[in-house]
Every structure is written in C-alpha cells, then in structure tokens.
C-alpha cells in the first residue's frame, strides 16, 4: 500500500524503494506514532469525523499493533518506507476501511515531526536524569576532596595550587550549564506541538489542536503551519546540547586519562571500568574514558551533518529532512551511555591524596603566592614578579624547588623577605588563605557545595 498510489501508473522501482526507506532506524518511533494516532482518533471523534465505535475500533487495533511490535511478531518491510506507513497498513489489515479515516486532515509531514517531538521529550528527560546523577556524583566526590591539595594546570604545566574538590567543581559547573540549557530545550522548542498543521497549510476540517496539545502533553502549539512541518530547530537544539555535554565529558575524560598514568598517579579507576592488553600483562587501560573522548567527535559530526542538510532547503517539507533522525538517535544514545559511564568513573575512582600533595611541594608552583607576599610588603606587583622570576631561574639552575630555599637565599633577591614567607607560601595554607569568591580555597569549595546540595536534593 502506498499513501499516494492514486497518482502513479507505475510501482516504485526496487532500488528507489530501498534508497528511500527509513524503517531501519525510525522504527524506534513506534510508541510515539501509536500515541499520536490514539490522540488523533480521539480528536476526530470530538469533531464528528469518527463515531465512538470507530474510535474504539481504531484504539483497539493500535493497542494490538503495539503488542505485536513489543513481542517481536510485527513484520517490517522496506516497501513500506517508514514506521508510520507500517502502522497505517497493519491497522488497515486489522480493522479494514475504518483505519482509512484516521489520516483525515493529517499529513506524514506533521505526523513525523509530532513523533519526533514526543521522542525528544522522553529522550531529553532521560539525559537530564543521567546528567543529574553525574552532577550528584561529582558534588559528593568534591565534598570528600574539598581540602585535598593538587597542582592546577595551564598549558598542561603546573600553575598554582588548587584543591581536587575545586577542580571537580569546574566540571560540575560546566555540566550544570548543560543541564540548564537542556531543560530550556525541553520546555520550549521540544515542547511545541506541530500536529494539525497537515502537509504545510493546515486543514479545512476543524481540527481541535488545543485538545491534541493537552492530550499529548505539550505546553504550546506551533504558530505557523509551514514552519511547523519544516523546522528542525528542536532537533538541532537537542544535537547542540548533546554535543556540548559530550565535549565536556571529553575534557573530563582527557584529564582523568592523564591523572591515571603512572607519571601523574593522581587517581585510579576500578578494574571493572578498565581493560587489559592481549600482549602486555601489566596494562590497565582507561578504555571507557578514551571511547567517550573518541565518540565525542561523532556526536559533534551529528550536529554539523544536520546543519548542512538544513542550510539550503526551501520551504516547506523536503525529503532531505528524513536525514535528521539517524544523527539524532545516535547522539542521544551516545550521550546517555557516556553520562552513565562517567558517573561510575567519578563515583568509584580512588584519589591518591599523598601523590597530589607531594606534587604541590615540588618545583616552583608557589611562585605566584611568593610574588603576592612581596606585594603585601609594599613591592609593586611588576617588580615583585621580576624578583620572583629571578628566584625561579636560580632554582632551575641549582636544581632546587622554591620551598627548599633558605631565608638567606631569598634575602639575596629582596630584603623584603622575612621568616613569615614560609608560612605564606606553604601549599596547605595557601588554599585556606585565599579570599576570592569562586576561587580555589577550601572555604569557597565548602560554600559552593553547601549552596548546590539543595539543587541536587542532597
């Protein structure tokens, strides 16, 4: 059965049939197509197109089809192109001509987009829940490590002392931004109902779109029928959000991969989240994190692939828009799995506090605080910067760390140094001394954690 069969003299060429078929991936929309059709049947009864008996017959048929699909008894074929035509034909086989009345005033154009919006509402809710779980895991770990000192890095070089809790909270605020943007999409572009827009112009039949909106749980109706069937902003928004989530997960993955190396030895992942080598017996590889890092590129590509599909399309619907679903389904699934894996990694990783602290006493990582010490003694900052730069150069030449210098050696560079300098540049005291709001101090980490606990229900 072809929905457009009356217009054509010839059957579709088998090559074109396979080329245009989307059933291989859009079958996952079946629960949303069935629910949209149930609501549509109920609406058609309300406006007098269907009798009560016809509506009940349709609803019973749709319920039976749902059971067939869920139990694996439903037959899929490329000849029927997509899930919408599969359900329509199967309903016709089951209940006869009554099924043909269901499509009154409805086009696959608004039907498809309605199914996708219903899918998005569920999918984004799932991602939101997993984001929530990861945020809770990060905040809990940050609370445990709020006073654990470690080197902070710029250019992947040791920069200044922070706490591991403060470091984790940097990833927390990135992912919280993701969640806030995600929830905006959930409540706006994904929550706008296109059903009732028909092919592009609406219908002369008095379709009750307000009923459909309430019945399907949408907060607003689309305002322009041409836009409703041709926009893919909601999908692009979802792809952008999943790409941003993956980007942030990739950055966290990269850091944890480095921190797991013997060279850093800052953290250790449990064996259950790692893999070994077929050749080297000693290897313990963070493959899950590496795959998050790798899969991020594909999700970003999903976003750009739809951008490129959309960039030159005339209004309204074009078959190119069929290419929106594969990138969407892939991005959603990848983000869901990656968030769940990362939650396990954060929750179960062991933190090597001793190794982190040791790294804070090596080299010249307290140089900035030494310059600030001189500033508080009345030395202009640029002069203090130059003085401490000379001290660092001397340390490098002598193979010594900044904290190994004696007071006499420091006074050789500036008479402003006194014995209180050693207390001022002590790594543990540094993270208690900082006063800046949002800075890397134990007090600020504690304040932020307490501030966020209600948000996460902790």
pTM: 0.94
DSSP letter, residue 74: P
pLDDT tens digits, one per residue of 18-40: 888 999 999 999 999 999 999 99
Domains of the chain plus CATH, in order, are 5-104 (1.10.275.10), 109-148+160-352 (1.20.200.10), 359-456 (1.10.40.30)
CB proximity list for 329: less than 8 A, separation 6 or greater: 25, 28
The 10 Å CB-count burial string (b at 16+, else e) for 402-430 is: bbebeeeebeebbebbeeebeebbbbeeb
CA angle 329/347/156 to nearest 5° reads 85
Q: d(Cα 366, Cα 183) in Å, to the nearest integer?
A: 41
Q: Choose the catalytic residue: 277, 297, 340, 432.
A: 277
Q: Which two tokens stand for residue 255?
A: 């850091």
Q: d(Cα 132, Cα 135) in Å, to the nearest integer?
A: 5
Q: d(Cα 439, Cα 271) in Å, to the nearest integer?
A: 34
Q: d(Cα 91, Cα 40) in Å, to the nearest integer?
A: 14
Of 167, 174, 137, whose CA–CA distance to 150 is shortest? 167
CB proximity list for 84: less than 8 A, separation 6 or greater: 33, 108, 111, 112, 115
Query: In this structure, what is the dihedral angle of CA atoms 283, 288, 289, 291, given to the nearest 10 degrees?
Result: 110
Contact 210, 221 (CB under 8 A): yes
Left if phi > 0, otherwise alpha if psi is -120 to 50, otherwise beta: which for 81? left
Residues in the chain: 458
Q: Given the DSSP bridges, would you call strands 157-163 and 149-154 parallel, antiparallel or unpaired?
A: antiparallel
Which parts of the chain register pLDDT below 50?
A: none
Quick check: is 297 catalytic?
no
pLDDT at residue 10, rounded to an integer:
76
Q: d(Cα 196, Cα 191) in Å, to the nearest integer?
A: 15
CA angle 37/40/42 to nearest 5° reads 110
Quick check: is 330 catalytic?
no
Contact 25, 329 (CB under 8 A): yes
Q: What are phi and psi of 317, to 5 degrees?
A: -80, 140
Q: d(Cα 158, Cα 276) in Å, to the nearest integer?
A: 30
CA distances, 451 to each of 107, 143, 293, 456 (Å): 50, 12, 31, 10
């Amino acid at each position: 059965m072809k929905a457009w069969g009356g217009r054509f003299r010839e059957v579709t060429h088998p090559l074109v049939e396979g080329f245009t078929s989307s059933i291989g991936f859009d079958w996952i929309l079946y629960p949303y197509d069935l629910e949209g059709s149930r609501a549509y049947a109920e609406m058609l009864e309300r406006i007098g197109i269907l009798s009560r008996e016809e509506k009940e017959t349709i609803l019973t048929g749709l319920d039976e089809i749902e059971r067939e699909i869920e139990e694996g008894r439903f037959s899929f074929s490329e000849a029927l192109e997509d899930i919408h035509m599969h359900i329509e034909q199967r309903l016709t086989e089951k209940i006869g001509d009554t099924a043909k009345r269901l499509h009154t005033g409805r086009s696959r154009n608004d039907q498809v987009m309605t199914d996708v919006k219903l899918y998005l509402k569920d999918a984004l809710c799932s991602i939101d829940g997993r984001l929530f779980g990861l945020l809770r895991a990060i905040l809990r770990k940050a609370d445990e490590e709020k006073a654990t000192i470690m080197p902070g890095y710029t250019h992947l070089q040791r920069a200044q002392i922070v706490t591991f809790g403060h470091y984790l909270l940097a990833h927390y605020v990135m992912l919280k931004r993701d969640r806030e943007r995600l929830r905006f999409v959930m409540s706006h572009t994904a929550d706008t109902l296109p059903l009732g827009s028909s092919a592009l112009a609406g219908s002369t039949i008095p379709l009750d779109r307000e009923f459909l909106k309430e019945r399907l749980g949408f907060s607003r109706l689309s305002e322009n029928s041409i836009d409703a069937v041709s926009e893919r902003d909601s999908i692009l928004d979802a792809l952008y959000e999943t790409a941003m989530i993956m980007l942030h997960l990739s950055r966290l993955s990269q850091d944890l991969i480095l921190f797991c190396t013997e060279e850093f030895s800052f953290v250790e992942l449990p064996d259950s989240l790692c893999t070994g080598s077929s050749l080297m017996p000693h290897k313990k590889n963070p493959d899950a994190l590496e795959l998050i890092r790798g899969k991020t590129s594909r999700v970003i590509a999903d976003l750009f692939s739809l951008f490129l599909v959309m960039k030159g399309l005339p209004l309204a619907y074009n078959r190119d828009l069929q290419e929106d679903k594969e990138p969407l389904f892939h991005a959603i699934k990848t983000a869901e799995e990656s968030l769940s894996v990362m939650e396990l990694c954060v929750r179960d990783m062991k933190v090597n506090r001793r190794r982190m602290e040791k790294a804070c006493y090596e080299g010249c990582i307290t140089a900035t605080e030494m310059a600030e010490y001189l500033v508080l003694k009345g030395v202009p900052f640029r002069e203090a910067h130059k003085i401490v730069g000379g001290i660092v150069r001397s340390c490098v030449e002598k193979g010594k760390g900044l904290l190994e210098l004696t007071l006499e050696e420091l006074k050789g560079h500036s008479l402003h140094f006194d014995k209180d300098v050693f207390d001022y540049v002590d790594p543990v005291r540094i993270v208690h001394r900082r006063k800046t709001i949002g800075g890397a101090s134990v007090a600020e980490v504690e304040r932020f954690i307490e501030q966020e606990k209600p948000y996460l229900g902790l």
